[in-house]
Amino acid sequence: MAAQGRHSPFRFKVMAYPAGIFLVAWAVIKLLDTHFDLTLLADATGWLLRFWDWLLLETPIPNWSLMIIAILIGTLSAAIYYARITDGTYGELHEIERKIYKKNNPQFPKLTDNQTLLMEALAYHANFRKVANLDSICKLVSLSTLDVEAGLKQLQAKRLVKQQVTRGTFGATTFELTLTGKDYALERLQLT
């Protein structure tokens, strides 16, 4: 619509409100000045006239101060932009360095392939809150019972697995990860 010669009433409203405020202030000052003899009103009138002259300037703030403000805003914007860009990069780089350091300086003992399979099976059971007994572990890793028993004993010696034996009518032997075993599973096996 503006391209066809019609102007938006928004501009008129923007100009009308300050003009109305100025006229009301001027009228109040004139009325008070005629009915009351106050020197403060003369000073206020002078201040309002200087303020009005300042508003009517093409640039109410000197150009050099506008340039300083523009430079400060531009510098701040660039700093925020580069801080956001590099923040993710340094975070990823730090994470990669941490993984390399932990692989080169292991805090956990080295495990054989069978022991790693058993740790994965126990982590699977813990993840789905299943009871890990000897039969369920054997089925999951496809190893013989002797291999599984030997591997679990080695893991118990390394304090990664603990064995719980219950007595009675429904007695059973279950295995679960210790806190160190859970840390190992989270760190090395990439489980959630």
pLDDT at 152: 92
44-97 residue pLDDT tens? 778 888 877 876 777 656 666 766 888 899 998 888 877 777 666 666 777 887
pLDDT at 1: 47
Asked if residues 160 and 180 have their Cβ atoms less than 8 Å apart, the reply is yes
Report the top-level CATH class of 113-188.
mainly alpha
The pLDDT profile of the chain, 192 residues, written as one tens digit per residue, is 445 556 555 566 667 778 888 888 888 878 776 776 666 666 777 888 887 787 677 765 666 676 688 889 999 888 887 777 766 666 677 788 777 877 776 666 778 888 888 998 998 888 888 888 888 898 889 888 899 999 999 999 988 899 988 887 777 888 988 888 888 888 776 654
Could you tell me which of 184, 115, 188 has the C-alpha nearest to residue 148?
115
DSSP string of 54-97, one letter each residue: HHHSSSSS-HHHHHHHHHHHHHHHHHHHHHHHHHHHHHHHHHHH
pLDDT at 153: 92
Pairing of strands 161-166, 132-133: unpaired
Rounded Cα distance between 122 and 178, Å, is 10
Rounded Cα distance between 122 and 184, Å, is 12
3-class secondary structure, 133: strand
pLDDT at 161: 92
pLDDT at 11: 65
Paired tokens of 46: 């002078």
Q: CATH 1.10.10.10 region(s) of the chain?
A: 113-188
Helices 113-127 and 134-141, packing angle to 10 deg: 120
Kind and range of the H or E run holding 181: helix 179-188
Task: Say how many CA atoms lie within 13 Å of 36 toward its Cβ.
Answer: 9
Rounded Cα distance between 187 and 117, Å, is 15
